[in-house]
Amino acid sequence: MATSHLLAAAAATSTAASAFRRPPLLSLRSPPPSSSLRLNRRRYFQVVRAAETDKETKANAPEKAPAGGSSFNQLLGIKGAKQENDIWKIRLQLTKPVTWPPLVWGVLCGAAASGNFHWTVEDVAKSIVCMIMSGPCLTGYTQTINDWYDRDIDAINEPYRPIPSGAISENEVITQIWVLLLAGLGLGALLDVWAGHDFPIIFYLAVGGSLLSYIYSAPPLKLKQNGWIGNFALGASYIGLPWWAGQALFGTLTPDIVVLTSLYSIAGLGIAIVNDFKSVEGDRALGLQSLPVAFGMETAKWICVGAIDITQLSVAGYLFSTGKPYYALALLGLTIPQVVFQFQYFLKDPVKYDVKYQASAQPFFVLGLLVVICYLPPLL
Protein backbone atom coordinates (compact mmCIF):
# COMPACT_ATOMS: atom_id res chain seq x y z
CA MET A 1 0.00 0.00 0.00
CA ALA A 2 8.63 5.89 -1.95
CA THR A 3 11.65 6.25 -3.40
CA SER A 4 14.11 3.90 -5.03
CA HIS A 5 17.17 2.63 -3.28
CA LEU A 6 20.72 1.77 -4.21
CA LEU A 7 21.37 -1.83 -5.09
CA ALA A 8 24.81 -3.39 -5.06
CA ALA A 9 25.90 -4.34 -8.60
CA ALA A 10 26.95 -7.95 -9.03
CA ALA A 11 29.93 -8.13 -11.40
CA ALA A 12 31.13 -11.62 -10.45
CA THR A 13 31.01 -14.35 -13.07
CA SER A 14 28.62 -17.23 -12.67
CA THR A 15 31.56 -19.38 -11.59
CA ALA A 16 31.63 -17.20 -8.49
CA ALA A 17 27.86 -17.49 -8.37
CA SER A 18 28.09 -21.25 -8.08
CA ALA A 19 30.39 -20.84 -5.10
CA PHE A 20 28.08 -18.30 -3.45
CA ARG A 21 27.09 -19.66 -0.05
CA ARG A 22 23.74 -18.93 1.54
CA PRO A 23 22.54 -19.47 5.13
CA PRO A 24 20.02 -22.33 5.57
CA LEU A 25 17.15 -19.89 6.30
CA LEU A 26 17.25 -18.43 2.80
CA SER A 27 18.50 -21.12 0.48
CA LEU A 28 17.59 -19.73 -2.89
CA ARG A 29 17.89 -22.82 -5.02
CA SER A 30 14.69 -24.65 -5.94
CA PRO A 31 14.33 -28.43 -6.10
CA PRO A 32 15.08 -29.97 -9.50
CA PRO A 33 12.30 -29.26 -11.99
CA SER A 34 9.87 -31.95 -13.05
CA SER A 35 10.63 -33.79 -16.26
CA SER A 36 7.84 -31.96 -18.04
CA LEU A 37 9.61 -28.66 -17.45
CA ARG A 38 13.21 -29.62 -18.13
CA LEU A 39 12.91 -28.57 -21.73
CA ASN A 40 11.70 -25.12 -20.66
CA ARG A 41 14.51 -24.75 -18.15
CA ARG A 42 17.05 -25.91 -20.72
CA ARG A 43 15.80 -23.25 -23.08
CA TYR A 44 15.38 -20.30 -20.72
CA PHE A 45 18.11 -21.00 -18.18
CA GLN A 46 20.76 -22.21 -20.59
CA VAL A 47 22.99 -19.24 -19.82
CA VAL A 48 22.87 -19.57 -16.04
CA ARG A 49 23.26 -23.35 -16.06
CA ALA A 50 26.17 -23.21 -18.50
CA ALA A 51 28.04 -20.80 -16.18
CA GLU A 52 28.60 -18.10 -18.75
CA THR A 53 29.33 -14.50 -17.99
CA ASP A 54 26.70 -11.83 -17.34
CA LYS A 55 27.43 -10.32 -20.74
CA GLU A 56 26.76 -13.64 -22.43
CA THR A 57 23.62 -14.06 -20.33
CA LYS A 58 22.12 -10.83 -21.65
CA ALA A 59 23.13 -11.69 -25.21
CA ASN A 60 21.00 -14.84 -25.10
CA ALA A 61 17.85 -13.07 -23.88
CA PRO A 62 14.91 -12.92 -26.32
CA GLU A 63 15.26 -10.00 -28.67
CA LYS A 64 11.97 -8.45 -27.65
CA ALA A 65 8.89 -8.83 -25.50
CA PRO A 66 5.47 -9.23 -27.15
CA ALA A 67 4.67 -6.55 -29.71
CA GLY A 68 3.63 -3.22 -28.24
CA GLY A 69 5.69 -3.57 -25.08
CA SER A 70 5.68 -0.42 -22.97
CA SER A 71 8.68 1.20 -21.29
CA PHE A 72 6.33 2.55 -18.63
CA ASN A 73 4.98 -0.95 -17.92
CA GLN A 74 8.56 -2.21 -17.73
CA LEU A 75 9.47 0.31 -15.02
CA LEU A 76 6.31 -0.49 -13.05
CA GLY A 77 6.92 -4.23 -13.33
CA ILE A 78 3.57 -5.10 -14.89
CA LYS A 79 2.65 -7.20 -17.90
CA GLY A 80 3.03 -5.68 -21.33
CA ALA A 81 6.57 -4.55 -20.51
CA LYS A 82 9.11 -3.67 -23.16
CA GLN A 83 12.22 -5.86 -23.34
CA GLU A 84 15.03 -3.99 -21.57
CA ASN A 85 18.81 -4.40 -21.51
CA ASP A 86 19.69 -1.79 -18.88
CA ILE A 87 20.48 -3.79 -15.72
CA TRP A 88 19.17 -1.09 -13.37
CA LYS A 89 15.85 -0.90 -15.18
CA ILE A 90 15.66 -4.69 -15.02
CA ARG A 91 16.40 -4.60 -11.29
CA LEU A 92 13.64 -2.05 -10.81
CA GLN A 93 11.24 -4.17 -12.85
CA LEU A 94 11.85 -7.16 -10.57
CA THR A 95 10.80 -5.11 -7.52
CA LYS A 96 7.45 -4.28 -9.21
CA PRO A 97 7.03 -0.63 -8.13
CA VAL A 98 3.33 -0.88 -8.97
CA THR A 99 2.96 -2.97 -5.79
CA TRP A 100 4.54 -0.38 -3.47
CA PRO A 101 1.63 2.10 -3.06
CA PRO A 102 -0.56 -0.17 -0.85
CA LEU A 103 2.36 -0.59 1.56
CA VAL A 104 3.13 3.13 1.55
CA TRP A 105 -0.54 3.88 2.12
CA GLY A 106 -0.63 1.32 4.96
CA VAL A 107 2.18 3.15 6.74
CA LEU A 108 0.31 6.45 6.34
CA CYS A 109 -2.86 4.83 7.70
CA GLY A 110 -1.04 3.54 10.76
CA ALA A 111 0.73 6.83 11.39
CA ALA A 112 -2.53 8.76 11.13
CA ALA A 113 -4.45 6.27 13.26
CA SER A 114 -1.89 6.60 16.07
CA GLY A 115 -3.07 10.15 16.72
CA ASN A 116 0.53 11.14 17.43
CA PHE A 117 1.77 12.08 13.98
CA HIS A 118 2.56 15.77 13.52
CA TRP A 119 3.68 17.66 10.43
CA THR A 120 7.18 18.25 11.75
CA VAL A 121 10.38 17.56 9.84
CA GLU A 122 11.24 14.69 12.18
CA ASP A 123 7.86 12.94 11.96
CA VAL A 124 7.75 13.31 8.18
CA ALA A 125 11.30 11.94 7.92
CA LYS A 126 10.39 8.96 10.14
CA SER A 127 7.35 8.16 8.03
CA ILE A 128 9.34 8.40 4.78
CA VAL A 129 11.97 5.98 6.11
CA CYS A 130 9.19 3.62 7.18
CA MET A 131 7.66 3.84 3.67
CA ILE A 132 11.03 3.05 2.07
CA MET A 133 11.41 0.07 4.39
CA SER A 134 7.92 -1.23 3.57
CA GLY A 135 7.79 -0.40 -0.14
CA PRO A 136 11.04 -0.41 -2.16
CA CYS A 137 13.01 -2.56 0.29
CA LEU A 138 10.78 -5.29 1.74
CA THR A 139 8.14 -5.31 -0.99
CA GLY A 140 10.94 -5.24 -3.56
CA TYR A 141 12.52 -8.19 -1.74
CA THR A 142 9.18 -10.02 -1.72
CA GLN A 143 8.60 -9.50 -5.44
CA THR A 144 12.15 -10.43 -6.44
CA ILE A 145 12.24 -13.63 -4.41
CA ASN A 146 8.78 -14.54 -5.71
CA ASP A 147 9.98 -14.12 -9.30
CA TRP A 148 13.04 -16.21 -8.49
CA TYR A 149 10.98 -19.15 -7.25
CA ASP A 150 8.40 -18.65 -10.01
CA ARG A 151 10.95 -18.79 -12.81
CA ASP A 152 9.62 -22.17 -14.01
CA ILE A 153 6.05 -20.84 -14.06
CA ASP A 154 7.16 -17.67 -15.84
CA ALA A 155 9.02 -19.78 -18.39
CA ILE A 156 5.56 -21.05 -19.38
CA ASN A 157 3.40 -17.96 -18.87
CA GLU A 158 5.80 -15.09 -19.55
CA PRO A 159 9.11 -16.45 -20.91
CA TYR A 160 10.26 -12.94 -21.82
CA ARG A 161 10.40 -11.84 -18.17
CA PRO A 162 13.89 -10.93 -16.89
CA ILE A 163 14.74 -14.15 -15.04
CA PRO A 164 13.46 -16.87 -17.41
CA SER A 165 14.71 -14.94 -20.45
CA GLY A 166 18.23 -14.69 -19.03
CA ALA A 167 18.24 -10.88 -19.11
CA ILE A 168 19.59 -10.94 -15.54
CA SER A 169 21.93 -13.56 -14.13
CA GLU A 170 21.44 -15.84 -11.15
CA ASN A 171 24.14 -14.06 -9.17
CA GLU A 172 22.60 -10.65 -9.84
CA VAL A 173 19.16 -11.81 -8.70
CA ILE A 174 20.48 -13.36 -5.49
CA THR A 175 22.51 -10.24 -4.72
CA GLN A 176 19.41 -8.11 -5.19
CA ILE A 177 17.39 -10.30 -2.83
CA TRP A 178 19.99 -10.03 -0.07
CA VAL A 179 20.58 -6.30 -0.46
CA LEU A 180 16.85 -5.50 -0.29
CA LEU A 181 16.26 -7.82 2.68
CA LEU A 182 19.17 -6.49 4.73
CA ALA A 183 18.31 -2.88 3.86
CA GLY A 184 14.72 -3.40 5.02
CA LEU A 185 15.73 -5.04 8.29
CA GLY A 186 18.36 -2.37 8.90
CA LEU A 187 15.82 0.43 8.42
CA GLY A 188 13.45 -1.34 10.81
CA ALA A 189 16.12 -1.44 13.50
CA LEU A 190 16.95 2.24 12.83
CA LEU A 191 13.30 3.26 13.24
CA ASP A 192 13.09 1.50 16.62
CA VAL A 193 16.13 3.41 17.86
CA TRP A 194 14.78 6.66 16.40
CA ALA A 195 11.39 6.15 18.09
CA GLY A 196 13.02 5.25 21.42
CA HIS A 197 11.39 1.82 21.65
CA ASP A 198 12.45 -0.41 24.52
CA PHE A 199 11.25 -3.41 22.49
CA PRO A 200 12.26 -3.39 18.78
CA ILE A 201 8.73 -3.93 17.49
CA ILE A 202 9.27 -2.48 14.01
CA PHE A 203 12.35 -4.64 13.47
CA TYR A 204 10.40 -7.75 14.48
CA LEU A 205 7.51 -6.76 12.23
CA ALA A 206 10.04 -6.49 9.39
CA VAL A 207 11.51 -9.89 10.28
CA GLY A 208 8.04 -11.45 10.45
CA GLY A 209 7.00 -9.95 7.13
CA SER A 210 10.23 -11.07 5.47
CA LEU A 211 9.85 -14.61 6.78
CA LEU A 212 6.23 -14.68 5.63
CA SER A 213 7.33 -13.56 2.18
CA TYR A 214 9.97 -16.28 2.06
CA ILE A 215 7.69 -19.16 3.04
CA TYR A 216 5.03 -17.79 0.68
CA SER A 217 7.33 -18.29 -2.30
CA ALA A 218 9.90 -20.92 -1.30
CA PRO A 219 9.68 -24.67 -0.76
CA PRO A 220 9.08 -26.71 1.26
CA LEU A 221 6.15 -24.69 2.67
CA LYS A 222 5.51 -22.49 -0.39
CA LEU A 223 2.24 -21.09 0.94
CA LYS A 224 1.20 -19.92 -2.51
CA GLN A 225 0.60 -23.57 -3.40
CA ASN A 226 -2.56 -23.27 -1.31
CA GLY A 227 -4.77 -20.52 -2.69
CA TRP A 228 -6.52 -19.77 0.60
CA ILE A 229 -3.55 -19.68 2.95
CA GLY A 230 -1.16 -18.08 0.47
CA ASN A 231 -3.46 -15.27 -0.58
CA PHE A 232 -4.48 -14.45 2.98
CA ALA A 233 -0.80 -14.31 3.97
CA LEU A 234 -0.19 -11.96 1.05
CA GLY A 235 -3.17 -9.79 1.99
CA ALA A 236 -2.01 -9.55 5.61
CA SER A 237 1.51 -8.57 4.61
CA TYR A 238 0.23 -5.89 2.23
CA ILE A 239 -2.37 -4.34 4.53
CA GLY A 240 -1.86 -5.35 8.17
CA LEU A 241 1.92 -5.28 8.59
CA PRO A 242 2.66 -1.81 7.15
CA TRP A 243 -0.28 -0.36 9.08
CA TRP A 244 1.06 -1.87 12.30
CA ALA A 245 4.55 -0.53 11.54
CA GLY A 246 3.22 3.00 11.02
CA GLN A 247 1.10 2.79 14.15
CA ALA A 248 3.94 1.42 16.27
CA LEU A 249 6.31 4.10 15.01
CA PHE A 250 4.18 6.89 16.45
CA GLY A 251 1.98 5.19 19.04
CA THR A 252 0.73 1.78 20.18
CA LEU A 253 -1.38 -0.92 18.59
CA THR A 254 -4.99 -1.12 19.81
CA PRO A 255 -7.71 -3.82 19.64
CA ASP A 256 -9.60 -1.73 17.07
CA ILE A 257 -6.56 -1.71 14.82
CA VAL A 258 -6.09 -5.47 15.09
CA VAL A 259 -9.78 -6.18 14.31
CA LEU A 260 -10.07 -3.79 11.38
CA THR A 261 -6.75 -4.63 9.74
CA SER A 262 -7.47 -8.35 10.11
CA LEU A 263 -10.79 -7.84 8.34
CA TYR A 264 -9.14 -5.83 5.59
CA SER A 265 -6.55 -8.58 5.19
CA ILE A 266 -9.41 -10.81 4.05
CA ALA A 267 -10.14 -8.23 1.36
CA GLY A 268 -6.44 -8.39 0.56
CA LEU A 269 -6.97 -12.11 -0.08
CA GLY A 270 -9.44 -11.18 -2.80
CA ILE A 271 -7.09 -8.61 -4.31
CA ALA A 272 -4.29 -11.19 -4.35
CA ILE A 273 -6.49 -13.65 -6.27
CA VAL A 274 -6.76 -11.12 -9.11
CA ASN A 275 -3.12 -11.80 -9.99
CA ASP A 276 -3.62 -15.58 -10.07
CA PHE A 277 -5.76 -15.65 -13.20
CA LYS A 278 -2.94 -14.72 -15.57
CA SER A 279 -0.80 -17.60 -14.23
CA VAL A 280 -3.32 -20.44 -14.49
CA GLU A 281 -1.45 -22.35 -17.20
CA GLY A 282 1.86 -22.34 -15.36
CA ASP A 283 0.27 -22.97 -11.95
CA ARG A 284 -1.59 -25.99 -13.29
CA ALA A 285 1.55 -27.38 -14.96
CA LEU A 286 3.51 -27.14 -11.70
CA GLY A 287 0.70 -28.39 -9.48
CA LEU A 288 0.12 -25.11 -7.63
CA GLN A 289 -3.39 -24.99 -6.21
CA SER A 290 -4.23 -21.35 -6.80
CA LEU A 291 -7.94 -20.72 -6.52
CA PRO A 292 -8.48 -20.40 -10.30
CA VAL A 293 -6.79 -23.80 -10.69
CA ALA A 294 -8.58 -25.42 -7.75
CA PHE A 295 -12.08 -24.10 -8.43
CA GLY A 296 -11.98 -23.07 -12.07
CA MET A 297 -11.94 -19.58 -13.50
CA GLU A 298 -15.66 -18.92 -13.15
CA THR A 299 -15.97 -19.88 -9.47
CA ALA A 300 -12.70 -18.20 -8.56
CA LYS A 301 -13.94 -14.91 -10.02
CA TRP A 302 -16.84 -14.88 -7.59
CA ILE A 303 -14.67 -15.94 -4.64
CA CYS A 304 -12.39 -13.02 -5.46
CA VAL A 305 -15.04 -10.31 -5.61
CA GLY A 306 -16.90 -11.88 -2.69
CA ALA A 307 -13.85 -11.64 -0.42
CA ILE A 308 -13.39 -7.97 -1.34
CA ASP A 309 -17.04 -6.92 -1.05
CA ILE A 310 -18.10 -8.99 1.97
CA THR A 311 -15.08 -7.73 3.90
CA GLN A 312 -16.02 -4.10 3.34
CA LEU A 313 -19.65 -4.81 4.19
CA SER A 314 -18.48 -6.50 7.41
CA VAL A 315 -16.35 -3.47 8.32
CA ALA A 316 -19.33 -1.21 7.60
CA GLY A 317 -21.40 -3.38 9.93
CA TYR A 318 -18.71 -3.11 12.58
CA LEU A 319 -18.69 0.68 12.26
CA PHE A 320 -22.50 0.77 12.53
CA SER A 321 -22.47 -1.47 15.62
CA THR A 322 -20.04 0.89 17.37
CA GLY A 323 -22.40 3.84 16.90
CA LYS A 324 -20.84 5.36 13.77
CA PRO A 325 -23.61 5.13 11.11
CA TYR A 326 -22.21 7.94 8.93
CA TYR A 327 -18.86 6.22 8.64
CA ALA A 328 -20.67 2.98 7.78
CA LEU A 329 -22.70 4.75 5.06
CA ALA A 330 -19.56 6.38 3.64
CA LEU A 331 -17.87 2.98 3.36
CA LEU A 332 -20.96 1.52 1.69
CA GLY A 333 -20.93 4.40 -0.80
CA LEU A 334 -17.31 3.62 -1.69
CA THR A 335 -18.07 -0.09 -2.12
CA ILE A 336 -20.74 0.50 -4.78
CA PRO A 337 -18.38 1.74 -7.55
CA GLN A 338 -16.08 -1.19 -6.85
CA VAL A 339 -18.98 -3.56 -7.53
CA VAL A 340 -19.78 -1.67 -10.73
CA PHE A 341 -16.19 -2.05 -12.00
CA GLN A 342 -16.22 -5.71 -11.05
CA PHE A 343 -19.11 -6.33 -13.41
CA GLN A 344 -17.77 -3.98 -16.07
CA TYR A 345 -14.26 -5.45 -16.19
CA PHE A 346 -13.21 -8.24 -13.89
CA LEU A 347 -16.18 -10.59 -14.11
CA LYS A 348 -16.18 -10.28 -17.91
CA ASP A 349 -12.55 -11.32 -18.36
CA PRO A 350 -10.18 -11.33 -15.34
CA VAL A 351 -7.13 -11.87 -17.56
CA LYS A 352 -7.83 -9.26 -20.22
CA TYR A 353 -9.10 -6.55 -17.88
CA ASP A 354 -7.11 -7.14 -14.68
CA VAL A 355 -5.07 -3.92 -14.98
CA LYS A 356 -8.12 -1.81 -15.89
CA TYR A 357 -10.09 -3.30 -13.04
CA GLN A 358 -7.40 -2.70 -10.43
CA ALA A 359 -6.75 0.83 -11.69
CA SER A 360 -10.43 1.76 -11.53
CA ALA A 361 -11.64 -0.10 -8.43
CA GLN A 362 -8.72 -0.04 -6.01
CA PRO A 363 -8.74 3.76 -5.46
CA PHE A 364 -12.20 3.37 -3.92
CA PHE A 365 -10.88 0.54 -1.75
CA VAL A 366 -8.07 2.79 -0.55
CA LEU A 367 -10.54 5.60 0.21
CA GLY A 368 -12.47 3.08 2.30
CA LEU A 369 -9.36 2.61 4.41
CA LEU A 370 -9.33 6.38 4.87
CA VAL A 371 -12.87 6.21 6.25
CA VAL A 372 -11.68 3.64 8.78
CA ILE A 373 -8.82 5.92 9.83
CA CYS A 374 -11.24 8.79 10.43
CA TYR A 375 -13.36 6.49 12.60
CA LEU A 376 -10.56 5.48 14.94
CA PRO A 377 -10.85 7.14 18.40
CA PRO A 378 -7.48 8.95 18.43
CA LEU A 379 -8.59 11.13 15.53
CA LEU A 380 -12.11 11.93 16.78
Last residue of a domain, one of 188, 219, 249: 249
CATH number at residue 197: 1.10.357.140
71 and 112 in a single domain? The answer is yes
Q: Tell me, what's the pLDDT at 157?
A: 77
Task: Give yes or no: residues 180 and 244 share one domain.
Answer: yes
Q: Does residue 83 fall inside a structural domain? A: yes
pLDDT over 80 at 55, yes or no: no
Q: Are 332 and 345 members of one domain? A: yes
Residue 182 lies inside a defined structural domain of this protein = yes
Q: Do 200 and 285 fall within a single domain? A: no
The total domain count for the chain is 2
Residue that is last in its domain, among 249, 282, 310: 249
Answer whether residue 51 is part of any domain.
no
Report the candidate in 230, 266, 238 with the shortest Cα–Cα distance to residue 107. 238
Which domain-ending residue is among 226, 249, 272?
249
* Global pTM exceeds 0.75: no
The answer to the question of residue 286 being in a domain is yes
Mean pLDDT throughout 43-69? Answer: 43
DSSP-derived 3-state class of residue 226: strand
The 10s digit of each residue's pLDDT in 121-141 is 999 999 999 999 999 999 999
Shared domain for 98 and 233, answered yes or no, is: yes
Domain shared by 332 and 354, yes or no: yes
Residues 318 and 288 reside in one and the same domain: yes
Identify whether residues 300 and 186 lie together within a single domain: no
Selected residue with higher pLDDT from 189 and 80: 189
Identify whether 45 is part of a domain: no
Q: Would 9 be classed as within a structural domain? A: no
Same domain, 198 and 332: no
**Residue range(s) defining the domain that contains residue 302:** 254-379
Give the CATH number of the domain where residue 322 resides: 1.20.120
For residues 235 and 275, state if they share a domain: no
User: Average pLDDT of the chain?
Assistant: 79
Rounded distance, CA 163 to CA 68, Å?
20
pLDDT tens sequence across 275-330: 788 888 878 887 777 888 888 999 999 999 998 999 899 889 988 988 889 999 99
- pLDDT at 65 (0 to 100): 53
Give me the pLDDT at residue 329, please: 94
Same domain, 211 and 260: no
* Whether residue 31 has pLDDT greater than 60: no
Residue 36 located in a structural domain: no
332 touches 368 (CB < 8 A): no
- Judge whether 220 lies within some domain: yes
Answer yes or no: are the C-beta atoms of 148 and 28 closer than 8 Å.
yes
How distant, in Å, are the alpha carbons of 143, 242, 333, 354 from that of 103?
13, 6, 24, 20
Closest CA to 57 of 220, 156, 149, 172: 172
Domain check: are 215 and 311 in the same one?
A: no
